[in-house]
């Protein structure tokens, strides 16, 4: 298993989100860059399928999928679990419509790129909000057993939407 590198730069708000391509439980391979210019992205790294907090967090996003769509926001879940695990877990939850991405091989490579790979080899629970231009606008870091507050995430998305609308108006109607 790949050990987390100590020379990984910690990402911060305002950084460009590192690009990657990973296989998903439902759609083949997906590439983050594809969403640029199209949709905002919620990139939800989680420790593992079948764990208690993850079994609340991921279905919570599924329950709010229509609201994410209203904000032109695509949710992507990422863990180091295999595709087989993602498929079985999704089925056990009654189906997850958004992509669960497998950072299984090379083990944790994308998690490491984002600075969230734990020393034990799983992704630390971290949520990135990436705007339509590929820029990180919010980073939420949570303890292993903590389910992120989805209302806080939607406040961040609404803030992003408000800033985007204000910027669009100022470009459309110069003073």
Active site residues per annotation: 54
SS3 62: helix
- CA quadruple 170, 37, 110, 66: dihedral positive or negative? positive
SS3 16: strand
Q: How big is the CA angle at 124 (ends 83 and 111), to the nearest 5 degrees?
A: 55
91 CB-side CA count, 13 A: 8
Pairing relation of β-strands 100-102 and 73-79? parallel
Q: Are 100 and 23 in contact (CB under 8 A)?
A: no
Q: Are 10 and 112 in contact (CB under 8 A)?
A: no
């Amino acid at each position: 298993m790949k050990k987390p590198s100590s020379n990984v730069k910690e990402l911060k708000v305002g950084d460009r989100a590192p690009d990657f391509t990973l296989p998903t439980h439902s759609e083949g391979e997906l590439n983050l860059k594809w969403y640029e210019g199209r949709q905002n992205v919620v990139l939800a790294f989680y420790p593992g399928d079948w764990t208690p907090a993850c079994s609340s967090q991921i279905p919570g996003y599924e329950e709010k999928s229509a609201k994410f769509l209203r904000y032109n926001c695509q949710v992507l879940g990422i863990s180091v679990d295999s595709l087989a695990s993602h498929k079985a877990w999704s089925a056990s939850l009654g189906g997850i419509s958004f992509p669960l991405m497998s950072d299984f091989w090379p083990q944790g490579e994308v998690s490491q790129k984002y600075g969230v790979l734990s020393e034990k080899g799983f992704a630390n629970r971290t949520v990135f909000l990436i705007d339509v231009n590929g820029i990180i606008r919010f980073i939420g870091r949570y303890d292993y057993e903590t389910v992120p507050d989805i209302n806080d995430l939607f406040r961040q998305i609404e803030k992003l939407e408000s800033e985007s609308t204000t910027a669009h108006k100022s470009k459309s109607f110069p003073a």
